[in-house]
Structure 1
Amino acid sequence: MVMDGLLIAFGAFFGAIFRFALSKFIKRIYPVRLPVATLLINVLGSFLLGVMIGIGAGSSWRLLLGTGFMGAFTTFSTFNLENIQLHAERQWKMLFTYLGLSYGFGIGMAFIGIVLGTYCAS
């Protein structure tokens, strides 16, 4: 049980730092109103989590990378806050574009990750 917590904490530490750095980098490259950084990070996280599931990662790897790293790397709370901000600003087109892209690409890339991981594992 203690080891499980350490695996999660270790993964989360690096996931949060990597998200912070990648988010700053993406925002510098794409200084647009649409929350591109969160979108790309969440879609990438969905894909990588799918690959991990597809290859059949063991429980320790799932805790370290899935729960820890990906849990801290991806960000549902920031996604929700950005949607609320777009709603408050009455940016309807951007709001629905962001929602559609996030869910569409997130689910799609998770599926592709699972298929690719399964293929690579066999």
Structure 2
Amino acid sequence: MARPPLLLVAVGGTIGAGLRWAVLEATPEAVFPWPVLVVNLVGCALLGALLGPGTPRSTRLLVGTGLCGGLTTFSTFAVEVARLLRADDASTAVAYMVASVVGGLAVAIAARATTGYRRTTAC
């Protein structure tokens, strides 16, 4: 029996959001927002590994859209950048932005490469 796509996304999202909450609650507050960076990088790596050819649609919905969507957080990233800027800590804000964007791309590409994805070109 096929699983309804919305159910897969909802279950994955619930798990992902719960994991993010647990990580953020378990870590002490610091100047640099390490917990948010870590959950976002983990989500990027999972998506990179997952989105190659051959991944079943149900897995992409459950883990990609659901779990990674619930785990990662662009809004908290934006709030943390704003908090750092309000505290006149522009250098940390820029470091956090660069680490998030460049790091996210790097781990997604690395995960994609290590899962056997090979780009093919059309003739």
Both structures adopt the same fold (TM-score exceeding 0.5): yes
Partner SS, residue 31 of structure 2 = coil
Question: Partners of 2:107 and 2:89 in 1: how far apart?
Answer: 26
Give the match for residue 25 of structure 2.
24
Gaps (5+ residues) in structure 2? 118-123
Letter in 2 for 1:14: I
**1:69 Cα deviation (Å)?**
0.5
TM-score w.r.t. the length of structure 2 is 0.87
Which residue of 2 is the match for residue 65 of structure 1? 63
Task: Tell me the CA shift for residue 13 of structure 1.
Answer: 0.7
Match of 1:104 in 2: 102
Name whichever structure is richer in helix by fraction: 1
Length, aligned pairs only = 115
1:54 deviation in Å? 3.2
Match of 1:12 in 2: 13
Q: Percent identity?
A: 33
In structure 2, C-alpha distance between the alignment counterparts of 1:84 and 1:33, rounded to whole Å: 13
| CA RMSD, Structure 1 to Structure 2 (Å) | 1.5
2:40 to 29, 39, 42: 42
SS where residue 115 of structure 2 aligns? helix
Q: After superposition, what is the alpha-carbon deviation per residue over 1:69-118, rounded to whole angstroms, capped at 9, x for unaligned?
A: 10000001100111111111111111011011111111000000111112
Asked if the contact 1:49–1:70 (Cα under 8 Å) also holds between the matched residues in 2, the reply is yes
Matched letter for residue 24 of structure 2: S
Q: Report the 3-state secondary structure (helix = DSSP H, G, I; strand = E; otherwise coil) of the residue aligned with 1:118.
A: coil
Runs of 4+, deviation exceeding 6 Å:
none
Aligned equivalents of 1:22, 1:48: Cα separation in 2 = 17
Shift of 1:55: 6.2
Deviates more, 1:71-80 or 1:86-95: 86-95
Question: What residue in structure 1 maps to residue 112 of structure 2?
Answer: 114
Please give the TM-score of this superposition, normalised by the length of structure 1. Answer: 0.87
Counterpart for residue 72 of structure 2: 74
Amino acid at match of 2:86: A
Give unpaired runs (5+ residues) of structure 1: none
Structure 1 residue 57 displacement after superposition: 1.3
